[in-house]
Chains A and B, each alone.
Chain A
Amino acid sequence: GAVVSQHPSRVICKSGTSVKIECRSLDFQATTMFWYRQFPKQSLMLMATSNEGSKATYEQGVEKDKFLINHASLTLSTLTVTSAHPEDSSFYICSATHLAGYNEQFFGPGTRLTVL
């Protein structure tokens, strides 16, 4: 149980285009989903916290107009990188907390974004 999926696993796009990444909790309802970014050989940096039905809370320094987050249901959150540029190339990982749980976050497999 407690499986989180991400789609797509890899995406390559041209500079200036927008990319949408989906994060789904497959077998549980997630009140909260988190989005992280990870550059090569670095740690995970929290970008935003997403609660179902409300606006996401962004960490300091993360542009909310560039990284649009929608959490429309208890099983789906999406991250849209708008007008992507090469510096947005990174590994994006989502996680979800179980409706009935509190402390443990379940992580998706990640999405590798390459902007040419």
Chain B
Amino acid sequence: SQQGEEDPQALSIQEGENATMNCSYKTSINNLQWYRQNSGRGLVHLILIRSNEREKHSGRLRVTLDTSKKSSSLLITASRAADTASYFCATVSGGYNKLIFGAGTRLAVHP
């Protein structure tokens, strides 16, 4: 089952612009993770934020987590054409290490 929704479903921007993707979830979580998937390929882990963290940075990525609203956002700054991919959030809850994925956002960055 899917944990929640991501918005937007699709995002089209120009190189150099920032891209913001949002993720909402339904249950309490241990952590939330963001992944990237290039078309027809496997997933690449981008960043993990724990339930007691509010913000995390990694290079051009910035992730926020609001547990009171059960939502997270991924910001990609100064986007590049190579950032074109689908981005998924995934949550881990309870004592199991199962990832429950959101619906994903398809990002297209145009040169």
For the complex formed, measure the closest distance between the CB of B90 and the CB atoms of chain A, giving whole angstroms.
8
For the complex formed, measure the closest distance between the CB of B36 and the CB atoms of chain A, giving whole angstroms.
11
By the criterion CB–CB under 8 Å, are A105 and B97 in contact? yes
- CB-based nearest B residue for A44: B101
Q: A6 to chain B: which residues have CB within 8 Å?
A: 42
CA distance A105 to B48 in the complex (A): 11
CA distance A95 to B106 in the complex (A): 22
For the complex formed, measure the closest distance between the CB of B110 and the CB atoms of chain A, giving whole angstroms.
20
CA distance A42 to B42 in the complex (A): 14
Q: A103 to chain B: which residues have CB within 8 Å?
A: 30-31, 33, 48, 92, 97
Q: A43 to chain B: which residues have CB within 8 Å?
A: 2, 88, 101-104
**In the assembled complex, B59 has its CB within 8 A of some CB on chain A:** no
**What are 17 A-to-B residue pairs whose CB atoms are below 8 Å?**
A4-B42, A34-B98, A43-B103, A46-B98, A46-B99, A46-B100, A46-B101, A95-B43, A102-B97, A103-B31, A104-B33, A104-B45, A104-B48, A105-B45, A105-B99, A110-B41, A112-B40
With A43-B101, A43-B102, A46-B101 already in contact, 4 other A-B pairs whose C-beta atoms are closer than 8 Å? A49-B96, A95-B99, A103-B92, A110-B40
